[in-house]
Amino acid sequence: MTILFITQKLHGQDAFTIQWVRAFIRRGYAVTVLCLEASDQLPSDFPVHSLGKERGATKVRQIIAFESFITTLSYDRVFIHMTPVWSVFGLWYWRLRGIPVYCWYTHYAMQVGVRLIGWFGTRFFCATAQSLPQYNHSPKKTVVGHGIDLSYWQKRENICADPHRLLCVHRMSRSKRFDITLNALALLPQTFTLDVYGIEAEPDYALQMRSLCNSLGLSSRVTFHGTVSYEALPALYVRHRFSINMASDTIDKTMVEAMTCGCYPVTTKGNARAIGISSAPMYDSPEAVKDFILTHLDRPPMDPEEMYRIVSDRHGLDRLICAMDAYISQGI
């Protein structure tokens, strides 16, 4: 059985997406990848087709290429990975051909592509119950946890030498509520600093946060590093005791990845429950985040072995693919 795996981009260094594709292959599927953009250096163990963004293709040409690929490639299932917008251009054909369509989506935001999959697709897969709350009572929504490749995210020893050095790894967007983190840092003693990594997904919000950082007098205590490669993440996590991410109603995979390195995710109580960890700030407020960090500064709420066990039991990639396979293989 062949899966058409539709995703945003595939680069030779994009280990995360490649791990997902290879997990499907280990499960016995043949996989063909269709992506918006691809690099020159690509894996050789599965075919990859690009819509040409890396070559400067216009949106119209990208759509034309998409229609050509979906109508000429041979496949039995469609798996849309975090890019539901492509359902707008593909569902007419997949419905006509009777091809089951699945979508992995971990956000709560509703958009046209999500609605179309809700109406005409086969099933949504979500990391947590907080994802897509609009479909909480729909049989099409299935919660399966996150997918962390444990062959890559093996248990690593945390070597944090200074717990006052805090970490943030997430996109700079409003949904991450980075202002809570900055205001919490302002309440902490001057010995606390913050390393921030992640793409500026919303440049205007990123500019606001830099301005807030300056107005709070934190410019010497906060370092904005920008984007970070997937391969560089483990080295970051093992050097920090706490990684802060106050995103509302969804858990980022970075929270779970950090746990494999003994780095405790400081997040909302709802996210903590979804991940399976024992403790979180009492409220979504700077004061509560500050109190939580000071309370657990010398010893995080869970030891590294317990954190890794939660990741392995609840968020492993092969376990995730197995859970989705129960539906995909049957076309339900």
235/320 same-domain check: no
Please, what is the angle between helix 317-328 and helix 15-26, to 10°?
Answer: 50
> pLDDT tens digits, the chain, 332 residues: what are they?
999 999 998 876 567 889 999 999 999 999 999 999 998 788 888 999 999 999 999 999 999 999 999 999 999 999 999 899 999 999 999 999 999 999 998 876 678 888 899 999 999 999 888 788 888 889 999 999 888 999 899 999 999 999 999 999 999 999 899 999 999 999 999 999 999 999 998 999 999 999 999 999 999 999 999 999 888 999 999 999 999 999 886 788 899 999 999 999 999 998 999 899 989 999 999 999 999 999 999 999 999 999 999 999 999 999 999 999 999 999 99
Residue 58 belongs to domain with CATH number: 3.40.50.2000
Which amino acid makes up residue 15? A
69 part of a folded domain: yes
81/185 same-domain check: no
* Number of domains the chain is built from: 2
State the pLDDT at residue 128.
81
Q: Which of 87, 92, 77 is nearest to 30 (CA)?
A: 77
Range of the domain at 240: 165-314
| Rounded distance between C-alpha atoms, residue 225 and residue 307, angstroms | 27
The SS3 assignment for 35 reads strand
63/139 same-domain check: yes
212 part of a folded domain: yes
pTM of the model: 0.83
State the pLDDT at residue 134.
86
310/320 same-domain check: no
Residue carrying the six token digits 């995909």: 328
Torsions phi, psi of 33, nearest 5? -100, 135
State the pLDDT at residue 137.
87
State the pLDDT at residue 90.
97
Please report which helix (H) or strand (E) contains residue 91, including its range. helix 87-97
63/83 same-domain check: yes
State the pLDDT at residue 14.
60
129 part of a folded domain: yes
Q: For residue 185, what are the CA distances in angstroms to 158, 188, 191, 244, 290? A: 22, 5, 10, 11, 7
Which amino acid makes up residue 131? S
105/177 same-domain check: no
30/94 same-domain check: yes
